[in-house]
Amino acid sequence: MGIFVDSPHGAPNHVLINEYMPGQGIMPHEDGSAYYPLVATVSLGAPIVLDLYTKRKSEGQEGQDEDGAEERRPQFRILQERRSLLVTTSGLYTDFLHGIAESTREKGLGPESVCNWDLLREKDRYENGWFDRATRISLTYRDVIKVAKVGNKFKFLNGR
């Protein structure tokens, strides 16, 4: 697909594998400047909703928590279907925090609350406005900008 063609290494050089059980989430965060501002996430197993939060604009701003998310209300919600690919880049990568709520049920789903509703393959599965979570595996591909060259420092691993 060539989505990493402009990244420093021209391809992802790092993959993170996460398993999310029902009820597990991850607090709103940003991935930071160690990575090229492009992430490709493959979702396997169950679907999940990724929440995007506006980042703090300045220190001590009213209506924000210590993580910089404005009142913990997502600005956008992305429904990541099973067997889907989500590519996050540019301002979406740099200007927002992303997180997954700690919940056993995704609620409030519909075209007015899910920004990618028109792109979903299985809309009828979510038309009731909710679904119970099941186990999800995510594969997150990135290009780490600076890679340490360790060279022969690990010769002991070869039994020498």
Find tokens 């995007």 and name the residue: 52
Integer Cα distance of 99 and 49 in angstroms? 9
Each residue's pLDDT expressed in tens, for the chain with a length of 160 residues: 789 999 999 999 999 999 999 999 999 999 888 999 999 999 999 999 999 999 876 544 444 555 554 457 899 999 999 999 999 998 889 999 999 999 999 999 999 999 999 999 999 999 999 999 999 999 999 999 987 766 555 555 655 5
> Count of CB atoms within 10 A of residue 158's CB?
7
Integer Cα distance of 12 and 32 in angstroms? 16
Whether this prediction's pTM lies above 0.75 is answered by yes
* C-beta of residue 83 within 8 angstroms of C-beta of residue 76: no
| pLDDT value at residue 69 | 46
User: Of 102, 125, 159, which is closest to residue 47 (Cα–Cα)?
Assistant: 125
3-class SS shares of the chain: helix, strand, coil, % to 5: 10, 35, 50
| pLDDT value at residue 32 | 85
Boundaries of every domain in the chain: 14-58+72-144
Can you tell me whether residue 151 is helix, strand or coil? helix
Beta bridge partners of 40: 87, 141
Q: Token pair of 19, please?
A: 């398993």
Beta bridge partners of 18: 138
Give me the amino acid identity at 93. Answer: Y
> 14-58+72-144: what fold?
Jelly Rolls (2.60.120)
> Count of CB atoms within 10 A of residue 72's CB?
14
